[in-house]
Homo-oligomer: A and B are copies of this chain.
Amino acid sequence: MFELPRPPLSRQLSRTIGRLGLRPPILPPAVSRFLPNVIEPLGKVPVLRRWLSQLVVNYYGYATSPRPRALTLGSDYTTWRTLTDRTYTGRHLPPATLEQQGKWPDQADVVALFRRDREIKSTDTSVMFMFFAQWFTDSFLRTSRVDHRRNTSNHEIDLCQIYGLTEDRTSMLRSETGGRLKTQQIDGEEFPVFLFEPRQPGASLVVKPEFRGLHDEEFLINTILGDASEEHKDKVFAVGLEHGNATIGQTMMNVVFFREHNRIAGVLEQEYPEWDHARLFDTTRNVMIVLTLKLVVEQYIKHIAPFDFPIETVPFLADGERWNRSNWCAVEFNLLYRWHSLAPDAIGSGADRLEPGEFRNNNPLVLRRGIEALMAQCSRERAGKIGLGNTPRFLVDRSQPGYPSIEERTVALMREARLRSYNEYREAFGLRRLSSFEQLTSDLQLRRRLEKLYENIDHLEWYVGIFAEDYPDYLMMGELLTTMVAHDAFTQALTNPLLARNVFNEATFSRAGLEIIEETNSLGQIVARNSTSPDEVVVEFSC
């Protein structure tokens, strides 16, 4: 009944590498072409896969000093409030000095750096990946509209997309029996119920009484649904978050996870007929959250890593680690995740081609085309390449005067947070400082533009720098962005209480639930087992 006090070799090694600040070099093309042939077979050996997974996770887990951090956006000096009130967004580094702030260029010039001229496609990332990323991160990177310094999420990967942010909201979404979520059939397929009362054409939208208080209705109806078609408004599903129907990606992902919840509740009901509604619901939810964590690590992060490195959700991996501290999303995590340049100019071609206006607020399209067909189309279309100069115009330019664009709001939030410089973040995350713009990018035109705006590489703003970094084809983003997103993602996902040693067990998930967890490692599986045409399912993050 006791454990060896010595951490396994891979932990020791990765901690040491991490703390020594050794970073992998950028590989010469000949090696990088060859390496996948080595890594993929290695990943098939379970012991090696676990070992390598631990190595990678700890390598990034120890990239910077662990939580708790002294400051949040709530205060520039340490207060008991900043140490305990998680409604305020965290921050990795203290605010920039006044001198630094004095050197910042005009906000409009920074926004302009992101504007796309001609779409640059990513090497192998699908639009399906983009929609997953958006759906996934919108659940914990929730900047408050009332006070930008606050995050309205629970800071956890908790599937609030389908369960809502509080128990009160969860109970609005639950059905009365069998541990299920409220459900309806449309053309022989299962969907969440509609949020609004049926209405006469032209009549105003009224939330069903059972869903009063689920969302901020004024914001939902006037802002999110502001320019949506009347047909979409009638087809808005009752799901956990107010943005849950805002893109076809959000809708598809929510429907798939909603179906999987009800499917698993059915499996458990059969296995454990003595369980009541509450136990079926809660146990299904435990299983569903861990399925999400598995997909995030084993499919989503795997795609971000070079050469589809076969990373695994090793149970209890975070157990003995110093980075295992309560989650607290940092403003840097919130900002670095704004991968707007993933958005393509269009999805598909010919009759099925979808313009950006058609991605948004379009449940009728999802219902007409079906989830399988749309996901297949999104899996075949490459997303944009992450980087400057590649954000679609509709996210950079204002659609109406006086109403800031998405990218303008992002740059404004960075400025409100008064972030330290790009080079200071490199240092804080164990990377050497750059001494020239030449080291940052080989794009001569961009270099000139940045030099004109910032003069000195030390003045370069972090949010610009992470998207300006050159990176080789086998990566999805630059060195600092990779390090920071991996650090924040691993230390958030793997500290989930469901993965802890005293919790990840049969009592928490049931035997049947554990089996589902074990056999699931891709989104495609989940889509297929809830599909009326499972053989046609194509869901890929690579393409």
| Complex CA distance for A432 and B531, rounded to whole angstroms | 55
Inter-subunit contact A79/B282 (CB<8 Å):
yes
Tell me if A79 and B285 are in contact (CB < 8 A): yes
Instruction: Determine which of B19, B68, B279, B283 lies in contact with A5 in the assembled complex, contact meaning CB atoms within 8 Å.
Output: B19
Q: Please, what's the 1-or-0 string for A29-70, where 1 marks a CB less than 8 Å from any CB in chain B?
A: 000000000000000000000000000000000000111111
Could you tell me the distance in whole angstroms from the C-beta of A39 to the nearest C-beta in chain B? 25
Nearest B-chain residue to A15, judged by Cβ = B5
Chain B residues closer than 8 Å to A68, beta-carbon distance: 497, 500, 502-503
Quick one: which of B75, B80, B503 contacts A78, CB cutoff 8 A?
A: B503
A154 within 8 A of B: yes
For residue A496, give the distance in angstroms from its CB to the closest CB of chain B: 9
Q: Residue A77 at the B interface, CB < 8 A?
A: yes
Check if A503 sits within 8 Å of B65, measured CB to CB. Answer: no
Residues in chain B near residue A78, CB distance under 8 A: 282-283, 286, 503, 507-508
- Whether A461 sits at the interface, judged by CB under 8 Å, is no
Q: What residues of B have a CB within 8 angstroms of the CB of A319 in the complex? A: 322
Which B residues touch A21, using CB under 8 A? Answer: 1-2
In the assembled complex, the Cα of A322 lies from the Cα of B317 at a distance in Å of: 12
**B507 A77 Cβ-Cβ under 8 A:** yes
Q: How far is the CA of A324 from the CA of B508 in the complex (A)?
A: 23
Q: Which of A474-504 contact B (CB under 8 A)?
A: 497-498, 500-503
Q: In the assembled complex, which residues on chain B have CB atoms less than 8 Å from the CB atom of A16?
A: 5
**Which chain B residues border A320 with CB–CB below 8 Å?**
322
Whether the Cβ atoms of B70 and A507 lie closer than 8 Å is yes
Q: Which residues of B contact A12 (CB under 8 A)?
A: 5
Whether A138 sits at the interface, judged by CB under 8 Å, is no
**Within 8 Å CB of A503, what residues of B?**
68-70, 78, 83
Can you name 21 A-B pairs with beta carbons within 8 Å?
A1-B21, A5-B15, A66-B501, A69-B502, A69-B503, A75-B282, A77-B279, A77-B282, A78-B282, A78-B286, A80-B285, A81-B167, A83-B497, A84-B156, A84-B158, A84-B497, A85-B167, A319-B322, A320-B322, A324-B325, A326-B326
**A interface residue numbers (CB < 8 A to B):** 1-3, 5, 12, 15-16, 19-21, 65-70, 75, 77-81, 83-85, 154, 156, 158, 163, 167, 279, 282-283, 285-286, 289, 319-320, 322, 324-326, 497-498, 500-503, 505, 507-508
Beyond A67-B502, A80-B286, 4 extra complex contacts between A and B, CB < 8 Å: A2-B20, A70-B507, A81-B167, A84-B154
